[in-house]
Amino acid sequence: MTTLTAKWRQRLPYVGVAAVVAYCLAPFYWMLVSSMRRTTDIFSTSLLPSPVSFENYRSVFSPTQGFTRALLNSLIVAGITTTLSLLLATFTAYAMARLEFRFKRLILTLIIATSMFPVVSIVVPLLKLFTNIGWINTYQAMIVPSMSFTLPLAVWNLTTFFRQMPDELEHAAMVDGCTRGQAFRRIIIPLAAPGIFTTAIITFIAAWNEFLIALSMTNKPGMQTATVAISKFSGATTYQTPFGSQMAAGVVVTIPLVVMVLLFQRRIVAGLTAGSAK
């Protein structure tokens, strides 16, 4: 009896992990299964599609939907947003972590506080502003507002990471003849690569999944991102909701993020745990 109890105690953590993984993956599994059902079988409750059909995927990539263009728009918006956020956040986070100046804690608090404002609270004033300056249906109308939540996120992550790096790294480089800028560029940036890479992945995912800003700032089908395009899929009739096509499009939008995480999981883990042990 004691042996059995000990074995179950050893297996209990694995059971817990399996339960959490199953809980998290269940919605994606059901989305995948539903995307491979025929339209007539979309409300079936079977765990596997029978028969397997790819008509929903053909519908998603039909020229009338314009989903390929929407995917390209999402890639452009998320890519530029991530690049600009990382560029600004790297310098800002380094200054917050290394330099001493008045109101530094207050400034960092304000940076974090800006990310707590609900997106809906800034959409209406930005919509009016962008209408006046002619930015509606442009990439910058989606990129600039998206940075309101990706930039604070990046600054917060990188500030924590830079604080964990010892000051002696810059001092040693400066003793060898480097300026502070050269020490930052040649020593700190390469060593901070795991943290920067992790921040880039998190920022890209946040920008890729953004919906409300893209929906509000565009009304032309050719400028809509993938998340907006999915919400505007039309069925065979006016009153039909294309659940199958929406599920298929959801799978297509999710796959790049899953592949990215699987390919770079070691770098992500290294970035998240960097500095936890010295």
pLDDT at 6: 67
pLDDT band at 139 (very low <50, low <70, confident <90, very high): very high
**Alpha-carbon gap, residue 28 to 258, rounded angstroms:** 11
Highest mean pLDDT among 46-60, 126-140, 166-180: 126-140
Residue 75 in this model has a pLDDT that exceeds 90:
yes
pLDDT at 210: 92
Instruction: Give Dmax over CA atoms of the chain in angstroms.
Output: 76
pLDDT tens readout for residues 190-223 = 888 888 888 998 899 999 999 999 999 998 988 9
pLDDT band at 103 (very low <50, low <70, confident <90, very high): confident
**Alpha-carbon gap, residue 252 to 72, rounded angstroms:** 13
pLDDT tens readout for residues 173-191 = 888 888 888 888 888 888 8
**Alpha-carbon gap, residue 10 to 19, rounded angstroms:** 16
**Alpha-carbon gap, residue 195 to 96, rounded angstroms:** 16
What single string gives the DSSP state of each residue in 149-187? HHHHHHHHHHHHHHHTS-THHHHHHHHTT--HHHHIIII
Residue 3 in this model has a pLDDT that exceeds 80:
no
DSSP H or E stretch at residue 66 = none
242 or 224, which is more confident: 224
Quick one: which of 107, 194, 184 has its CA closest to 158?
Answer: 194
Q: pLDDT > 90: what percent of the chain?
A: 25
Cα angle vertex 68, ends 62, 73, to 5°? 150
Residue for token pair 């694995």: 14
Residue 74 in this model has a pLDDT that exceeds 80:
yes
Distance of CA 233 to the CA centre of its chain: 23
| Average pLDDT across the chain, whole number | 84
Distance of CA 186 to the CA centre of its chain: 28
pLDDT at 278: 42
**Alpha-carbon gap, residue 96 to 99, rounded angstroms:** 6
Quick one: which of 190, 189, 186, 166 has its CA closest to 176?
Answer: 186
Quick one: which of 163, 181, 183 has its CA closest to 173?
Answer: 183
275 or 114, which is more confident: 114
pLDDT at 276: 47
**Alpha-carbon gap, residue 193 to 195, rounded angstroms:** 6
135 or 277, which is more confident: 135
pLDDT at 274: 56
